[in-house]
A and B are shown apart, each in its own frame.
Chain A
Amino acid sequence: MAGLTLSNVTKTFGDFDAVKDVSIDVRDGEFLAVLGPSGCGKTTLLRLVAGFERVSAGQIRIGGETVSDAGGSVPPEKRRVGIVFQNYALWPHMTVAENVGYSLKVAKVDKAEARRKVDEALALVDLTGLADRRPANLSGGQRQRVALARCLVAAPSLVLFDEPLANLDVHLRASMEDEFAAFHKRTGTTIVYITHDQSEAMALADRIAVMDHGRLAQLATPRELYSEPANEMVASFIAQGIVLPAEVLSAEEGGKARVEVMGQQVTVRCRPGDGPRANASICVRTPDLEIAGEGEPGIEGTVTRAVYKGGALRIDFAPAADPDRVISFEHPGHTGFEEGARLRLRIVSGWLIPGNGPEDGQHA
């Protein structure tokens, strides 16, 4: 087991920056999810760590040892990094046992010893008895577990998961999620888990690195990402947060500040030391919104669409002051809001998105 350190890693294809100046420190035994929309550079990041791509600039260290920098690159076969691929990548011409024992055979481990380790690994993923099957005769979940056992048996310093659940159906996905969590708990392996599915990342990871256009948008715990997004991209990407323009009126005091949003004054949470500024923005989510009663202050506007989502209504609300900035939120219940109904919306709370911090370069 070992930690993983990326320092200012950049990967350029032609004149396109697939990964740009990314620095991440993954602690020994940590479960890190790398989350982002497709094309954000997360797969390139994984291939850089595995050694299939070379860095254009920066440095990658595994367990304190430099494996990639601009000067050179340790080949993948010498990195002791295990990978679980999205399409499992099981070799069709080998049995389950041969697949799992491949790295031992390559390392010329004694046969009896190898057999024992393979059995152990198969037992760990609950596949005892399937050793002589062919991958073609396994279900999707079983294949995934063979892939897990295969990277486990080599006792890698680091395991990389490349969207391992993307090919599975919804039910299997939930049970495999539990299995990955158990796997991490049992083995204590350092894991880097690439995904575009935030609920998966939230459920599994100690910390999540959100990537956007090749850059690291934020690296934080799931809770922090949700409640204290570092920039507008993260705010709107995670759980579809609503980002609204605001003006900061007061300096931070006890983690809160006064802001004005669409003519309404609200107290929102903020970073220590934040202070008065114009052109700020806040992130609000459904629990931060209330429908204002008679005579209460609020943002005037119209319901443009109300869709029943089972147990709740999804309401699109166009503020009168800025009708193009549609606010979508969920409201419990299933009646009472027709298209075209007038409404006053009150912001109860929210998060003041920090100003141009170091992690917020491009979203100024």
Chain B
Amino acid sequence: MTEPTHAPLHTVARGRARWHRVIVRPVLQRRARVAPAAQAIAFVIGIVLALIAGAMLLWGSGNDPVAVYERMAESSLGGFDALSRTLLRATPLAIAGLAVAVAGSMGLWNIGAEGQMMAGATVAAGFAMVAGDLPGPVLIVLMLVAGAVGGVVLVVGPALARAYLGVSEIITTLMLVEVAIRIVEWLKVGPWKDPESFGFAQISPLPDQASLPGLFGQVHIGVLFAAALLLAFWLAVSRTAWGYELRMAGSSPATARYAGISLQRKVLTALLLSGGLAGLAGAIELTGTATRLEPGLSSGYGFAGIIVAALALMRPSGVAVVAFVFGAVLRGGQSIQTLGVTSSIATILQAMILIGALVAAVLLNYRVRWVRPVGSGTDADATENPASAGASGV
């Protein structure tokens, strides 16, 4: 008789209690990779946990959770106008999330999307200042291009450092967020200060024709750009050789090298694309919702985009869904201010959805296996037990 397979080292049922020698017992075993379906379930669990925790918070602070949630749902999902307001916020979230996901699909973390959005908006606004006489459509297209360029400019340093020196992109991209925001602050009080705003420092307004056309309700055509970009990247990443190489370079650098793929060029492309997309998101936010450049323009969309991408497992389809949900949470959070509840509930809910989903995903990532006692006379190996193979999930 061959030596029976032992329980995995990492088990929940630990210890050397006597019962474990005689009773068939469950152990938790980690799956090799996260299934997208499991991630979807984890996301829903995260939302439910966040709503429960948020309800307790609201109740504890003397609010009626049901009334607050009703208002949030009605103002974000109830009807055409409400949906348009949700989509308005989902648009920058989706593009920023996509930006992070492009880098993430090869295992890179672009933590600086917030800064690249600001850089994109800044370069776009600067372009509008020098070429404010152009007709609307031309000006807007060029501003969006300028936005992408701005994002690339901010990320090119970290990308080169990562590709050729191996400097972690996590910290460098993050540091440049603060740099970008402070540059806009400097522009506001210094060179770009509106000469017509006496005493009150603000940047000169954009030309009138530099605003994205509306689509329906509150939403502008930026939402179509977001949808097109998501589709394009889904095709590129999952259906082309380029995307396959990108994913392989991330998941197995050694294999990629043997296959003749230049890792350095892949790192550069992924990070530059990521920065360009984030810059584009900034320019769309500027031309779509703002009348002038402000230091608070990106208002956390870039950081939220990281959460969106992480929840979406770096997949474009997932980014669309998560961005929509987060857009609804943001819109709902804004609407409840009329009930006297602070909009910070929205940020709390976002963070709690992420944490709940992270924990749920890890738990869903384990499966229960029934392990027979060692040396109990049966040679039925636990791994070959058909009953255990069917017992998936927790």
Do A and B originate from a single complex? no
> Interface residues, chain A, CB within 8 Å of chain B?
none
